[in-house]
């Protein structure tokens, strides 16, 4: 897969996302699918109330259209692995869409219950596992930066479910500032695209760069001040897809590094909840941790840029050590 092919893939997804955004965002406004802002959230966020949400539909549609279009240009684009990736992306996106729809359209503040979400995520993860098991499937987990690996055997299905559910929720927690997840996911998917190229998995590389291009296109509308939010529709889909991508390129645990922003955001919530339950005190002014920095006086733009920088370093350093 040549550099010109990579750039073509990214450009196609970028353009399709931009075009879909110009159509879908006005439609979301007309339907009054506006974001509700939590009362306990930072005061600066209250002015965002009413901004269209469910914007994940824009890049999810773009990714599917781009993959279908590219399958007519390049061979072996729609393989078992990329179809599984799209099933995970679409399945987790559907769960997020139902949650968004219940909150925004049906005006039920809680959306899907946590149990309903969990059941849906587990079912999709198990479907993905059995689809992959129809062909050769490696159940080993490589320890990054070492020559060691662990064969989980029949327990790999439990690991896969945990990985997909965990990272879909982690990305969802991180989606709280304009452009934050769109930018970090662009970096993460591009990084795994490079890994896929290094291992000559061209089909997976194309999918990775399609998502990266789509997220760059989404940033046109999601940068501060955001014209649209991705909602759970987008964040759950991206988290599930990036977890499955790490599995398919056999760099599962490396996602803890490349996705370090999502890991830190999730840990901040876990630390906050545990501390409050045990001691009645909070470690952070608010969790996830991006809200802590907001309440500490950082501008939203500064937080996003710093988090993007962390994500970039966390992606480029492993690539330099393992690929180049």
pLDDT in tens, 197-220: 998 899 999 999 999 999 999 999
What percent of the chain clears pLDDT 90, i.e. is strictly above it?
79
For residues 321 and 238, the model is more confident at 238
- Report pLDDT digits (tens) over 95-137: 999 999 998 888 777 778 899 999 999 999 999 999 999 888 8
Predicted local confidence at residue 135, as pLDDT: 82
Predicted local confidence at residue 136, as pLDDT: 83
Asked whether residue 41 carries a pLDDT value surpassing 70, the answer given is no
The model scores a pTM over 0.85: yes
Q: Establish whether the linkage from the previous residue to 88 is cis, with ω within 30° of 0.
A: no
Q: Which residues, at least 6 apart from 307, have a Cβ–Cβ distance to it below 8 Å?
A: 180, 183, 184, 261, 290
Quote the domain boundaries for residue 94.
3-251+259-322
Distances (CA, A) of 206 to 7, 10, 252: 10, 9, 19
The number of CA neighbours under 13 Å toward the Cβ of 301 is 4
Q: How far apart are alpha carbons 185 and 171 in whole angstroms?
A: 9
How many residues does the structure list for the chain?
324
Helices and strands (H and E) in the chain: how many: 12, 2
Q: Are 229 and 176 in contact (CB under 8 A)?
A: no
Q: How many domains does the chain contain in total? A: 1
Count of other CB atoms within 10 angstroms of residue 22 = 12
Mean pLDDT of 60-77: 93
Asked whether residue 39 carries a pLDDT value surpassing 60, the answer given is no
Mean pLDDT of 70-84: 92
Mean pLDDT of 179-196: 97
Predicted local confidence at residue 142, as pLDDT: 93
Q: How far apart are alpha carbons 162 and 159 in whole angstroms?
A: 5
Q: How far apart are alpha carbons 235 and 223 in whole angstroms?
A: 16
List the structure tokens of 19.
Answer: 């075009």
Q: How confident is the model at residue 36 (pLDDT cuts 50, 70, 90)?
A: low
Q: How far apart are alpha carbons 245 and 237 in whole angstroms?
A: 12
Question: Residue 57: helix, strand or coil by DSSP?
Answer: helix
Closest CA to 94 of 168, 160, 201: 168
Q: Which residues, at least 6 apart from 224, have a Cβ–Cβ distance to it below 8 Å?
A: 177, 178, 179, 300, 301, 304
Predicted local confidence at residue 82, as pLDDT: 96
């Amino acid at each position: 897969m040549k550099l010109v092919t990579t750039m073509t893939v990214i450009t196609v997804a970028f353009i399709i996302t931009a075009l879909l955004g110009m159509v879908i965002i006005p439609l979301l406004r007309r339907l009054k699918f506006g974001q509700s802002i939590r009362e306990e959230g930072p005061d600066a966020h209250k002015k965002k109330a009413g901004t269209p949400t469910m914007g994940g539909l824009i890049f999810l549609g773009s990714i599917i259209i781009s993959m279908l279009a590219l399958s007519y240009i390049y061979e072996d684009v729609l393989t078992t692995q990329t179809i599984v990736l799209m099933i995970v992306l679409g399945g987790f996106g559907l769960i997020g869409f139902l949650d968004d729809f219940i909150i925004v359209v049906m005006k039920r503040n809680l959306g899907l219950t946590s149990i309903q979400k969990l059941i849906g995520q587990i079912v999709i993860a198990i479907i993905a596992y059995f689809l992959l098991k129809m062909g050769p499937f490696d159940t080993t987990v490589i320890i990054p930066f070492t020559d060691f690996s662990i064969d989980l055997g029949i327990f790999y299905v439990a690991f896969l479910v945990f990985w997909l559910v965990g990272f879909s929720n982690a990305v969802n927690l991180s989606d709280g500032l304009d452009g934050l997840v769109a930018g970090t996911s662009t970096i993460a998917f591009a990084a795994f695209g490079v890994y896929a190229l290094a291992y000559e998995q061209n089909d997976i590389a194309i999918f990775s760069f399609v998502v990266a291009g789509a997220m760059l296109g989404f940033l046109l509308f999601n940068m501060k001040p955001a014209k649209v939010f991705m909602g759970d529709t987008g964040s759950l889909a991206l988290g599930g897809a990036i977890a499955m991508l790490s599995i398919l390129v056999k760099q599962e645990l490396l996602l803890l590094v490349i996705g370090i922003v999502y890991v830190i955001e999730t840990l901040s919530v876990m630390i906050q909840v545990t501390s409050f339950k045990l001691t009645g005190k909070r470690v952070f002014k608010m969790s996830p941790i991006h809200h802590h920095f907001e309440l500490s006086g950082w501008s939203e733009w500064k937080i996003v840029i710093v988090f993007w920088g962390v994500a970039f370093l966390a992606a480029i350093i492993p690539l330099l050590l393992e690929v180049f």
